[in-house]
């Protein structure tokens, strides 16, 4: 994949009372995308926020709003996330029986379509979806919470990268990414790294420099692995 490594901080680890300022801070500090975790308390055992919050954030995000839906059903909310200004909308393959229709609808609403796979889900069946998919999100934790322990999915990432071939599809890794875990996933073929705790630790909107140091450390570890690969 010729793409540069992209670092996408997850605002799940941000100060929820300061989302706008947090988004501006991480972008000023070098984030490539902003990763926004939408949870419904049903598909995953946690609740965050919906399209109204994403819409309110649009004015504060200059780069890419990468919206990760951990909800079911997905289809009734696609239009609302398009109107909210999401650039990438990712749905879980486990969220329902008609992921093919969902991916079509996401693209039809003018967004890039992402497909997320839980750690327990294999890659059989993904091949028939590749021509509808712009990004595959490989979960390296069971979704629902930040700060969980990284689960090794390198065999799955390698299999996907091979399956993708020349298609322009990102492989995004979500969960437990930090400078120690980033190299193995990049070497296996990932090019987008989501990180919550590892980006926001030690900083705040009043003291954003640690965000920049944390982003730079993840990027350096990832780029080192890519050069070595
Ligand atoms: C987990 C979310 C992740 C989460 C990652 O369900 O999808 O985006 O915020 O957090 P860390 O990087 O702390 O594992
Ligand atoms: Zn996520």
Residue by residue, pLDDT tens for the chain (229 residues) are 457 999 999 999 999 999 999 999 999 999 999 999 999 999 999 999 999 999 999 999 999 999 999 999 999 999 999 999 999 999 999 999 999 999 999 999 999 999 999 999 999 999 999 999 999 999 999 999 999 999 999 999 999 999 999 999 999 999 999 999 999 999 999 999 999 999 999 999 999 999 999 999 999 999 999 888 7
99 lines ligand 1 (CB under 6 A): no
| 45: three-class secondary structure by DSSP | coil
**145 phi and psi angles, rounded to 5 deg:** -145, 150
C-alpha–C-alpha distance, residues 63 and 61, integer Å: 6
What is the enclosing helix (H) or strand (E) of 58? helix 51-58
What is the pTM (predicted TM-score) of this model?
0.98
Q: How far is the CA of 144 from the centre of ligand 1 (A)?
A: 8
Return the beta strands (E) in the chain as ranges: 6-9, 33-39, 64-70, 88-92, 112-117, 135-139, 170-174, 192-195
142 lines ligand 1 (CB under 6 A): no
């Amino acid at each position: 994949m010729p793409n540069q490594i992209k670092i996408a901080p997850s605002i799940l680890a941000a100060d929820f009372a300061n989302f706008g300022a947090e988004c501006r801070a991480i972008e000023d500090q070098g984030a490539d995308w902003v990763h926004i975790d939408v949870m419904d308390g049903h598909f995953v055992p946690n609740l965050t926020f919906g399209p109204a919050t994403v819409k309110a954030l649009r004015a504060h995000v200059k780069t890419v709003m990468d919206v990760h839906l951990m909800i079911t059903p997905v289809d009734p909310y696609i239009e609302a996330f398009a109107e909210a200004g999401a650039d990438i909308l990712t749905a879980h393959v486990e969220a329902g029986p008609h992921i093919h229709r969902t991916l079509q609808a996401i693209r039809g609403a003018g967004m890039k379509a992402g497909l997320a796979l839980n750690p327990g889900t294999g890659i059989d069946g993904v091949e028939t979806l590749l021509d509808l998919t712009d990004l595959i999100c490989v979960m390296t934790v069971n979704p629902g919470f930040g700060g969980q322990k990284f689960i090794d999915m390198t065999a799955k990432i390698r299999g996907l990268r091979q399956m993708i071939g020349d298609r322009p599809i990102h492989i995004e890794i979500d969960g437990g990414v930090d400078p120690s875990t980033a190299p193995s996933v990049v070497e296996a073929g990932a090019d987008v790294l989501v990180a919550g705790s590892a980006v926001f630790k030690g900083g705040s909107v009043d003291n954003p420099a640690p965000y920049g140091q944390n982003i730079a450390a993840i990027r350096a570890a990832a780029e080192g692995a890519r050069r070595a690969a």
